[in-house]
Chains A and B, each alone.
Chain A
């Protein structure tokens, strides 16, 4: 029941956002046929022919309907600039971005939650150092982090490659490690901070105190009552940040010259390549929705109050 409600909500979000995406491109200045003729003066007949070819004269809603039904059939149309199939273009670029984001997500979960738990359960120097690191990690912009990581680990130490996405699974991971760290850093810092606060709150909670007062061993109280319960707010934050990684990955792809969706999108926007931009935007929204759905399901699995549809 819970899952079905969530899926319906996701479908609704996708429909509305695809409409917005489609409308936004037409509201933006410049038109595709002007890009296609690239500033040359052409006769109105030619322009009309181009408009005819891309059905640009159809009413807006008709064009939206045609587009959305095609997308639902897996057909994202053709790129305006090089006539390539958009689906194929995306399929070539998607693995790099997907892998980059997945790696960064793993780093956020392990580094962010791990350090947060350590800082939350320990007082004194360790806690202070992690807070300091968290502030630093959050303050450094992604592109700057990318440059520093590159100059230290690629140019200086020579441990990682400077650019490119690599071939094969392990080579890809090797190529994407630095970019993933640059991408994950600010989010890992935030997640560590939130985790630390949540852990401290649960550590002082009455049910943890009473569990200790009942003679439940400390390690068990920490795992069962403190860490488990603190994951409720943390999972929400992790979800939001991982979903946001997809957008953030574009900057990193640019900095490390990776052939992912981000570099494709930047080029497409500059060329006013409608079909490509729309397809990427829709994929972004879908990914965002799916990640949030996963977070909600995880949340429901650890909090019965959500699962049973009652207010907390």
Chain B
């Protein structure tokens, strides 16, 4: 459903142009979870942002991004807005930066459903409560009334996930969704994300620097280095027979004793 072909992104610098992405090619099938693994600065986040047509203004983007045949990079104005509100949702790293600090949680959820997706305000309010229950929040009313600074990162990331699945998009973009959270809540949030995705049959492009986490969540993994995808494979294949030296280095740098349990086990 998503196919990225030959995507390159160059930032215009003062002295020299900076190549952030070098002909990235990857695909995500309907309902599939695909990992994008690499160290910080390797271009993972920029790839995600390009899919939402959110590259910085001084960037030159070439290549093609097709979303069910829709040419994303050519979208403008209302078409672009519709694609963003209906087809693709993004979950960013730090939930405390994603929500406006001066507006309560309910406004965040209602904004997504009412202002972006066109649902009536009254219905959006009701749905906001249901969504919070769906992501495992007990005190729904208290959380809806709360301001971002009153909630923990884990709680807030659930709110963001609730907002992301609200419009039942076909594709979820997860940009290190658990990195900014406590270790104890990481597994929980990750499990909730995975569960929601499966229930709604959404595809996901999951960005992380953690190869183990990607292996636990994803069907296929792309390894990225310096703006290039250096290796692609199913998790077991990357573990047993890594081809690229960088993948081998990533494997070697994992803390010892962590198993490769897929889905629902240790994450």
Residues of A in contact with B (beta carbons under 8 Å apart): 205-207, 209-217, 220, 224-225, 228-229, 232, 302-305, 308, 310, 312
CA distance A211 to B163 in the complex (A): 11
Q: Is B98 an interface residue (CB 8 A)?
A: yes
B115 touches A216 (CB 8 A): yes
Contact of A215 among B86, B98, B102, B147 (CB under 8 A): B86
Instruction: Other than A206-B94, A214-B90, A224-B100, give 19 A-B pairs with Cβ distance below 8 A.
Output: A207-B98, A207-B99, A207-B100, A213-B52, A213-B84, A213-B90, A214-B89, A214-B116, A215-B85, A215-B116, A216-B85, A216-B111, A216-B116, A228-B102, A303-B102, A305-B101, A305-B102, A310-B150, A312-B101
Contact of B85 among A214, A225, A232, A302 (CB under 8 A): A214
Chain B positions within 8 Å of A308 at CB level? 147, 150
B54 touches A229 (CB 8 A): no
Task: Give the distance to chain A from B168, nearest Cβ to Cβ, in Å.
Answer: 14
Q: Is B254 an interface residue (CB 8 A)?
A: no
CA distance A12 to B90 in the complex (A): 51
Contact of B149 among A211, A213, A217, A305 (CB under 8 A): A305
Chain A positions within 8 Å of B112 at CB level? 214-216
Chain B positions within 8 Å of A213 at CB level? 52, 54, 84, 90
Chain B positions within 8 Å of A214 at CB level? 84-85, 89-90, 111-112, 116, 163
Residues of B in contact with A (beta carbons under 8 Å apart): 52, 54, 81-86, 89-90, 92, 94, 97-104, 111-112, 115-117, 147, 149-150, 163
Q: Give B146's nearest chain A residue, CB to CB.
A: A304
CA distance A10 to B84 in the complex (A): 50
- List 4 tightest A-B contacts by C-beta distance, closest first: A215-B85, A215-B84, A206-B97, A215-B116
Chain B positions within 8 Å of A215 at CB level? 81-86, 112, 116-117
Q: Among B90, B99, B112, B116, which residue has the most Cβ atoms of chain A within 10 A?
A: B116
CA distance A286 to B145 in the complex (A): 37
Task: Give the distance to chain A from B51, nearest Cβ to Cβ, in Å.
Answer: 10
Task: Give the distance to chain A from B54, nearest Cβ to Cβ, in Å.
Answer: 6
Which label, helix, strand, loop or mixed, suits the secondary structure of the A interface?
helix
Chain A positions within 8 Å of B147 at CB level? 304-305, 308
Q: Give B98's nearest chain A residue, CB to CB.
A: A210
Chain B positions within 8 Å of A232 at CB level? 102
Contacts A213-B54, A220-B115; is A310 near B149 (CB within 8 Å)? yes
Q: Give B84's nearest chain A residue, CB to CB.
A: A215
Contact of A211 among B83, B94, B111, B150 (CB under 8 A): B111
Q: Among A216, A220, A303, which residue has the most Cβ atoms of chain B within 10 A?
A: A216
A206 touches B92 (CB 8 A): yes
Question: Could you name 14 residue pairs across A and B whose Cβ atoms are closer than 8 Å?
Answer: A206-B94, A207-B101, A209-B54, A213-B54, A213-B84, A214-B90, A215-B81, A215-B82, A216-B85, A216-B116, A229-B101, A304-B104, A308-B147, A308-B150
Q: Give B118's nearest chain A residue, CB to CB.
A: A215
Q: Give B173's nearest chain A residue, CB to CB.
A: A213
A229 touches B89 (CB 8 A): no
Chain B positions within 8 Å of A209 at CB level? 54
Q: Give A225's nearest chain B residue, CB to CB.
A: B100
Q: Among B83, B94, B101, B117, which residue has the most Cβ atoms of chain A within 10 A?
A: B101
Task: Give the distance to chain A from B131, nearest Cβ to Cβ, in Å.
Answer: 14
Task: Give the distance to chain B from A272, nearest Cβ to Cβ, in Å.
Answer: 51
CA distance A89 to B110 in the complex (A): 57
Q: Among A212, A214, A216, which residue has the most Cβ atoms of chain B within 10 A?
A: A214
CA distance A224 to B86 in the complex (A): 21
CA distance A50 to B54 in the complex (A): 80
CA distance A225 to B104 in the complex (A): 13
CA distance A184 to B111 in the complex (A): 38
Chain A positions within 8 Å of B102 at CB level? 228-229, 232, 302-305
Chain A positions within 8 Å of B90 at CB level? 210, 213-214
Task: Give the distance to chain B from A121, nearest Cβ to Cβ, in Å.
Answer: 14
Q: Give B99's nearest chain A residue, CB to CB.
A: A207
CA distance A213 to B90 in the complex (A): 8
Chain B positions within 8 Å of A303 at CB level? 101-102
Q: Give B86's nearest chain A residue, CB to CB.
A: A215
